[in-house]
Chains A and B, each alone.
Chain A
Amino acid sequence: MKIRVWGARGSVPAPGPEMVRYGGNTSSVQLLLDSGEQLLLDSGTGIRTLGLSLAAAPRVNILLTHLHLDHIQGLMFFPPCFRSDAEIAIWGPASPEASLEDRIARYISAPLSPVEVRELPCSVSFRDTPPSRWRIGSATVVCEAVNHRGPTLGFRITEGDTTVCYIPDHEPVLGTELADLDPEWISGYDLARDADLLIHDCQYADEEYPAHIGWGHSGMSDALTFASRVGARRVLLFHHDPLHSDSFLDRLRGTARRRWEELGNDPALVEMAMEGGELEVAGTALPAGVPA
């Protein structure tokens, strides 16, 4: 499996000269399966440039963790939406309040948008997704509700012996301590358990988290404690706060690697997500410590 990051920022796009390396686009990850199919995780503003890279007549599956704007804002600017030969399936959290299509249409409709969902020339389907397991091509997808603000899913995607887990917005430490907590009481535990790659919320540096308790995101050490508790082999810290500049994130990366090592893991296996970054992910056949 190959991962390409098209947007690693959280909350709101954050362009600017001090954000060049980690990038300013919001959540968008492309997962290229060994079978040649692909899954697009979230549709933050990074999905616009992702869409430009796709071949003609694309068939894409977009998995939405939730409908906060930083995860759907790019949808209206996703080039395949405007191609009549494109087939797009959008999976996202079910809600008792309204269908997925109706909730997304609140954004893709007047006065926020110049087009309506029904006017999109592509073939688009909306799949309201309760916690469940299903297959897309050669991959098995499992989704579960995780602790964030509002209905939010995390995804576990397995192809062959390789598993990637994506939980970009997550505050598993809210109201509890992760270090000694029984796994059955840890939000996201089953999703992320033994993942070869965990892409996880790291919105805050540790010193920033206390001022943001209950905002639905993780501080760096909590993200790594979660990753360590679930036994993730490799961690990609994601959903960077819009205030975090390249130099800030470089320093946070150093701290994260030391923290990961303190937790008994190989420091080379934790990385900050970077727009334009690519990773090969392989199953656990590789000995621990060898970057895949």
Chain B
Amino acid sequence: MAVMAARAQKPLELILARNLLTSLSTPAFLVDEKAQLVFYNEAAGALLGRPFEDVGRMSPEKWISTYGPIGEDGEPMPLDDLPTTRAIRNGRPAHASFRIRSADGAEREIASSAFPIVASERGSSGAMILFWPTNDQGSEGDE
């Protein structure tokens, strides 16, 4: 069959990143080049109170409205300040601390680091975002 249908597959570097995240116990997200959430791992599911399979892909706006991140100044965190947005937009790593409302109603303080995933001439194909809960035990050393 000669016809090549519209692209179904993610770039290899995102596929490999997802495979890595599935084997980490560090909560982690994966977003595509438009900052759309395309995957998070089981550890992140525990943090957010809901597994990725129940949520599916999500726009950054939806993420903000669902989890309502509150910045260190006590104000709702604008989309532009999220590490994910900054990493995708500027092509550089970004870090921030904020509070989120998880699906089970709990408020959690987390520190989040995002870094862009760049492969070959195609440029950035997304970002990987790691989370550390900072109000749990064992968070020593976090900001």
List residues of A whose CB falls within 8 A of some B CB: 94, 96, 130-131, 142, 144-147, 156, 158-163, 174-176, 183-190, 193-196, 233, 283-284
Contact = CB atoms under 8 A, between A and B. Distances in A.
Given A158-B2, A194-B3, 15 more contacts: A130-B122, A131-B11, A131-B120, A147-B16, A175-B23, A176-B22, A184-B8, A185-B18, A187-B9, A187-B16, A189-B9, A193-B5, A194-B1, A233-B1, A283-B1
Contacts of A159: 2
Contacts of B19: 174-176
B103 interface: no
Interface string B1-39: 111110111111101101110110000000000000000
B79 interface: no
A144 to B, nearest CB: 7
B140 interface: no
A194 B23 CA distance: 31
**Chain B residues touching A, range:** 20 to 34
A159 B1 CA distance: 10
A155 to B, nearest CB: 13
A162 B121 CA distance: 30
A189 B120 contact: no
A145 B9 CA distance: 11
Contact of B4 (A131, A176, A190, A196): A190
A80 B83 CA distance: 55
A144 B10 CA distance: 11
A278 to B, nearest CB: 22
Contacts of B2: 158-163, 283
Contacts of A163: 1-2, 4
A56 to B, nearest CB: 33
Contact of B11 (A94, A145, A175, A186): A145
Interface of B: 1-5, 7-13, 15-16, 18-20, 22-23, 119-122
Contacts of B4: 142, 156, 158, 163, 190, 193
Q: Which of A160, A161, A175, A183 has the most CB of B within 10 A?
A: A175
A194 B11 CA distance: 19
Given A174-B19, A185-B18, A186-B15, A145 B119 contact: yes
B1 A284 contact: yes
Nearest to B5: A193
Contacts of A185: 9-10, 15, 18
A269 B121 CA distance: 38
14 contacts: A94-B120, A131-B11, A144-B9, A144-B12, A158-B2, A160-B2, A162-B2, A163-B1, A175-B22, A187-B16, A189-B9, A190-B4, A193-B8, A194-B3
A174 B11 CA distance: 15
B8 A131 contact: no
A146 B9 CA distance: 11
A8 to B, nearest CB: 25
A198 to B, nearest CB: 12
A200 B11 CA distance: 20
A193 B9 CA distance: 10
A183 B9 contact: yes
A162 B2 CA distance: 5
Contacts of A283: 1-2
Contact of B8 (A130, A158, A175, A189): A189
B1 A184 contact: no
Contacts of B7: 190
Contacts of A194: 1, 3
Contacts of A186: 9, 15
A13 B18 CA distance: 35
A190 B2 CA distance: 12
Contact of B121 (A94, A142, A161, A184): A94
A201 B44 CA distance: 34
